[in-house]
Amino acid sequence: MNNVFQKTFKQGSTTYYNSSIFFPKKVKKDVFILYSFVRIADNFVDSIPQNAQGFNEFKTHYQQAVQGQPSNNTIIDSFVDLLHRKCFSVKWVNAFIHSMECDLSKTEYNTMEETLEYMYGSAEVIGLFMCRILNLQEQAEYAASMQGRAMQYINFIRDIKEDAELGRRYLPLTDSGLSSLTEPAARAAPGLFTSFIRREIERYKTWQDEANAGFHLIPKRLRIPIRTAADMYLWTAEKIWKNPFLIFQTRVKPSRTRILMQLVFNIFR
């Protein structure tokens, strides 16, 4: 496996990376290519300062590559090869790129409709890509989309402090009574903040339940890494539920040991 994919993926996500290493070799290679592509794009828009020029060049090189002109960028060209091999919809890739572009200009999401549109491109299409990589039935696509959405929403909750420092807010404050999600605003209204976070975790659980309903459509050998990642996001959600203010103290993430122990548990589940 090309080290560039492994390195890029490993640096970008502890949970996804350590869960994905249990996929069969050929599947793992394709998963690493996919996550390297989305991670590089995400890095451009999340860097401080943002690298809009780098992102736009990345977008142009992808568009040229998908039209048959190699970019000479290993990650882009490998992703385009994967796109053709696994019959990804170009519309899914376009939705992903659009959501990344939003991060260059849009800072606040004030309605759930706006947030859902963003999550479709930033997370739900990743579930759809995974369906094709794993050769799943079309019937599995809805649950895969919900899995992507659920995980993204926990990331939004977990990363409230980090996003606020970037001037971003993905969670709508509708009916929350809160003026912002900065730490001073949260500590000024602890009851409101706690209620808000727990309400949003319940929203996540609704989507996760819909994702869980599709697990039976995934062969067990392929299901184990996905279920393990989902279990770790649930662990994160439960830690934050117990103490919503924990998000201002640390980045809540499971350890590699915890992830591997859950993998073992799921093998015999």
Exposed/middle/buried for residue 69 (C-beta within 10 Å: 0-12, 13-18, 19+)? exposed
Selection from 178, 176, 160, 157 nearest residue 168 by Cα: 160
The CATH code of domain 3-267 reads 1.10.600.10
Give the C-alpha separation, 109 to 264, whole Å. 39
HEC per residue, 152-181: HHHHHHHCHHHHHHCCCECCCCCCCCCCCC
3-class secondary-structure state, position 24: coil
Q: Residues 116, 170: contact at Cβ < 8 Å? A: no
Provide DSSP, 47-104: SSS--HHHHHHHHHHHHHHHTT---S-HHHHHHHHHHHHTT--HHHHHHHHHHHHHHH
Q: Note the pTM of the prediction, 2 decimals.
A: 0.93
Contacts of 151 (CB under 8 A, 6+ apart): 123, 229, 230, 233
What DSSP designation does 32 have? H
Output the six-digit token pair for 131.
């369906």
**Domain boundaries along the sequence of the chain:** 3-267
Q: What is the pLDDT along the chain (269 residues), one digit of tens a residue?
A: 467 766 666 665 677 777 888 899 899 999 999 999 999 999 899 887 889 999 999 999 999 999 999 998 999 999 999 999 999 999 999 999 999 999 999 999 999 999 999 999 999 999 999 999 999 999 999 999 999 999 999 999 999 999 998 889 999 999 999 999 999 999 999 999 999 999 999 999 999 999 999 999 999 999 999 999 999 999 999 999 999 999 999 999 999 899 999 999 998 88
Residue 248, amino acid: F
SS3 for 108?
A: strand
Say how many residues make up the chain. 269
